[in-house]
Each structure stands twice: as C-alpha cells, then as structure tokens.
Amino acid sequence: MTFATLGLIEPLLRSLEKLGYQTPTPVQAQAIPAVLAGRDLMAAAQTGTGKTAGFALPLLQLLAMEGPKVASNSVRALILVPTRELAEQVHEAVRQYAENLPLSTYAVYGGVSINPQMMKLRKGVDVLVATPGRLLDLYRQKALKFNQLQTLILDEADRMLDLGFSEELGNIYRVLPKQRQTLLFSATFSDAIRLLAGQMLNDPLSIEVSPRNVAASTVKQWVVTVDKKRKAELFVHLMRKGKWKQVLVFAKTRNGVDALVEKLQGLGINADGIHGDKPQATRQRALDRFKLSEVQILVATDVAARGLDIEDLPLVVNFDLPIVAEDYIHRIGRTGRAGASGQAISLVCADEVNLLSAIETLTRQTLPRQMEHDFEPEHRVPDTDASGQVVKKPKKPKKPKTSGGGKRNLGKWVESGDASAPEPSIKPVRKVPVFNTGPRKKKP
C-alpha cells in the first residue's frame, strides 16, 4: 500500500516524498480513507504511530478541494490539543504537509501575548491548532468566528479531559456549528472518555490499530526499586554507569523538576527543565537545545509528555511515577518511536507501589524489577502483578508462649511467677467512657 492508493492528491504526495514518508502506518491506512469519506472518527493508536498525518493529510485535502475561501477572523478547521508543546508540534507537521497547497495554518496557546494572535486571525485561517483556554479567550474577545467551521479534531482527547478541560470543551462545543465532521485521536481511551466522546460524534467509525492502553513493543521497560530519599543519587549512579548521552526524565511536580535540575547542574551535568510555571519561550528554548543535544538531561513534568517528538531518543526515566496510569504510556512513548527501539526505566519507592500496580493493571504486564548494588531500599517495595494486586509480605509466625514460672517479655511489662518481679514500668490503660451523643431525654 502507498499514500497514492489511499486517494491523496498530488500536492500532498509531493510533500510526503520530501519528508521521506514511504508507506502508510496502520492508523494512517485506516483513518485517511474514512476522513476523506466525511465520516466522524474515533481512532486509538500507540504514540509514535503517525496519528497526526492520519488526520491532517485528509483534512488538508478536503479543505483544498471544497468550501469557500476563509473569511476574516474565521477558521475552517480546528485542531484542539492539551499543551503548548503539542500545539507547536502539530502545527509544524500540518504546515509541512500543506506546503504545496494554498491553505493558511496557525497555532494559538496561552503563556504568550494574545495580541499578535488576534492580529494574525484578522485575515482568517484555514487550519487553526489551539489549546482550549486560549481559544475561548480569543472567541470571547471576538477575534474568532466559527460560522465557516467544517471540521473539529481533538488530538489527545483523553488527556484534555484528564487535565480538567471538560468545562472548556463543553463551552467550545456549544458555540460550534452542529453540522460538522468531528475526529477524536489519542493513544488511550478510557471507557468514561469513550462514553463522553460518543455524545460529540455522529455515527462514528472506531479504529483501534493496537490493543488499548498497551505501550509500544519496541520499548524495553523495567523498574529499579530504591528509597525515596536516594532517588537522585541512584539516577546519577545509573547515568554514569550506563554512560547515558540523552535522557528525558519525568518528575511529578514542578518543585521536583527544579530540585533535580539544580542537583545535576551542581554536579557539572548539563541539564535543564520544563514545567508549567516557566514561560513558553524558556520551555521552547530548553526543548530545542535538548533536540540539538546541547542539553544532556531534560527533566519535565507531564506537561511535556504529549508534545515532544524527538528523533532517536534512546531513554526515558520515570524519576517519579505518574499519578494517572495512562500518563505512563505517553511518557515512555517518547522513545521507541516509528519502529525504533528504546528503553524506559522507572525509579520506584515503597509509597509508589499503588501507582505501580495501577500501571501494570492498565498495561496488562508485570514490569521486571532490579535492585542496584549499594542502593537496596530499606523500605521494601511490595510485589505487584498485572492483576492489580499488591502482594503483601507474609507475617512472621508468633513464637509459642512459654509455660511454667519463667519470665515472659510483654514489651515493657514483665510477667513472672516470682514474687520478687519488679512492678510494671507503665500504668494500665484506663477505660475511656463512651458518651451518648444522641438527643437528651427530659426527666419525668
């Protein structure tokens, strides 16, 4: 199968040839004909399998071949994404695909000035990539109109709802034309998300090119158990032992990102971090330097899990496990992309055992464990398995009671048949009276 056999027009084929695209991926092979046929679509596929091209290519073809020219402050197609980084990534892909077409594209998101975005929208945009919050800001300031909208695309739809965008999505949904094509693309879909998405789509075609919530088989995954206070020390040890050249590290909090970056930089390691508190320009600069291998270690919160497309990234490290199990799939999906191999290491302490169990249940696999010499945890991480069970360590059997008049140790108490035994060192516990908190009865 080729892209030509999917029915794509010649200008798009030229763009794909320039980009080195040769054979459609499974999600592209199924999605492109469906979108061209005008179907609503719900597509689930692993990260790195080409979902963006799966919706962008047929979208651009439909816009180029039908419909009037875009009017001032209007858009013809809207692609909603959860993060700034993903907005930039998706827009860049759309821009490259549309290189030989007379279509305009643009991306809007928060964290930067809204005024240049309002100016750009005055001429109208054929394809707009946007985060929900900034899109609503522009609409409320009358910089956007949706009367020409033909297609709505939610990329990483589950993540937007997980991040609390449900209210924003509802507000956007209410102001869009009822007659439109709607496409939902993501690596994962929970049952709750599917139910909600079913209310937005009209007779949708469902595509699942891989088992739900399963990480790419090209990524080798394992766990290293360690005490929480020694995670940073273990990370540095593993980095030096493995001679890691380029590593993407995920931490749970913004403070955690800053603390790890500070520690690494203090050891002379070229590290940088990105999280939601940093300005967009700073985040983009750190990401660009990491892609150019000018930064060895990039530490990020989950804000970056859905917006990083880095060629040949060999390793992802979960310094902290994610609170939401689905985020694990998106994190490790930054490596092992487009058929390449990758590794994902998770540093797990005892109080993360329930998070580990949730990940193993979601992915239907028990992650192999290792312990690093000199970093064996004092607080044991209980065993887990893919059934969702945390296997508790069996209790030690109690020692049998001794008979006769010998002494028996009862904590600070001593029991003895000998009258010379000392008095107990602590007083017996007094009984606490139980008060009736109900309504008081009146005396007769």
Within 10 angstroms of residue 409's Cβ, the number of other Cβ atoms is 8
Q: Supply the pLDDT for residue 48.
A: 65
pLDDT in tens, 20-57: 888 898 889 999 999 999 999 988 876 667 889 999 99
- Residue with the larger pLDDT of the pair 400 and 240: 240
Q: Supply the pLDDT for residue 306.
A: 57
Do 165 and 21 share a domain, yes or no?
A: yes
d(CA 41, CA 201): 8
d(CA 223, CA 319): 11
413 is a domain residue: no
405 is a domain residue: no
Q: Supply the pLDDT for residue 187.
A: 67
219-225 and 105-108 strand pairing: unpaired
Within 10 angstroms of residue 430's Cβ, the number of other Cβ atoms is 6
Up-side HSE of residue 418: CA atoms within 13 Å toward CB? Answer: 8
Q: Where are the beta strands (DSSP E) in 376-421?
A: 383-384, 390-391, 408-410, 413-415
Lookup: tokens for 69: 């020219």
Which of 208, 229, 264 marks a domain boundary? 208
Which of 176, 208, 240 marks a domain boundary? 208
Which of 152, 183, 208 marks a domain boundary? 208
Do 189 and 229 share a domain, yes or no?
A: no
CA distances from 256 to 29, 83, 251, 358 (A): 41, 20, 6, 22
Question: In total, how many domains does the chain have?
Answer: 2
Assess contact for 172 and 135: CB atoms under 8 A.
Answer: yes
Q: What confidence category does residue 392 fall into, taking pLDDT thresholds of 50, 70 and 90?
A: low
pLDDT in tens, 128-183: 999 999 999 999 999 999 999 999 999 887 777 766 788 888 899 899 998 999 99
Nearest to 105 by CA among 169, 175, 153: 153
432 is a domain residue: no
Do 241 and 105 share a domain, yes or no?
A: no
Inform me whether the pLDDT recorded for 410 exceeds 50: no
d(CA 361, CA 325): 9
What's 374's domain CATH number?
A: 3.40.50.300
Q: What confidence category does residue 95 fall into, taking pLDDT thresholds of 50, 70 and 90?
A: very high
Do 186 and 239 share a domain, yes or no?
A: no
Lookup: tokens for 210: 């891989």
Q: Supply the pLDDT for residue 311.
A: 67
Do 284 and 143 share a domain, yes or no?
A: no
Sheet of strand 271-274, all strands in order from the earlier edge strand to the far edge? 271-274, 297-300, 247-250, 315-318, 342-348, 219-225, 369-370
Lookup: tokens for 440: 């008081």
Do 61 and 196 share a domain, yes or no?
A: yes
406 is a domain residue: no
Do 136 and 263 share a domain, yes or no?
A: no
Q: What is the mean pLDDT of residues 196-202?
A: 76
3-state secondary structure 62-76: HHHHCCCCCCCCEEE
Do 203 and 233 share a domain, yes or no?
A: no
Do 160 and 204 share a domain, yes or no?
A: yes
Contacts of 197 (CB under 8 A, 6+ apart): 42, 154, 157, 184, 189, 204
Instruction: Look up the domain containing 364 and give its range.
Output: 219-391
Give me the chain's average pLDDT, please.
82
Inform me whether the pLDDT recorded for 249 exceeds 90: yes
